[in-house]
Amino acid sequence: MLLGLLGEREMYGYEVVSELRARSTAVIDLPEGTVYPALRRLERDGLVRARWVDVEGAPRRRYYALTTAGERALTEGRESWHRFTRAADQVLGG
């Protein structure tokens, strides 16, 4: 899900948390303490890159964006998810 959001545009950490919550009508409500370490792992694994941005009147924000490897991982993840949901629908009769 994080890669999917970052595949749309560059975002800072809290923005990722807020987008997940808003788009899922709060069904997906991950705490910041879960999202920030996940973003750091994605950066360490080369799937996202991060940069600091100064914001007038606010603390600096760390923005994340997909790398080429992250774009590939997103494509593969979506394909895998579609295969899984099709199989689940067949099993559950959906």
Collect all residues with Cβ–Cβ distance below 8 Å to 49 and sequence separation of at least 6.
43, 64, 65, 67
Q: For every residue of 23-69, which 3-state class applies, written as one string?
A: HCCCCCCCCHHHHHHHHHHHHHCCCEEEEEEEECCEEEEEEEEECHH
* Residue 24 CA, distance from chain mean position: 13
Collect all residues with Cβ–Cβ distance below 8 Å to 38 and sequence separation of at least 6.
2
Question: Residues 54-62: what's their mean pLDDT?
Answer: 96
pTM over 0.75: yes
What CATH topology corresponds to 2-92?
Arc Repressor Mutant, subunit A (1.10.10)
pLDDT tens-digit series, residues 60-78: 999 999 999 999 999 999 9
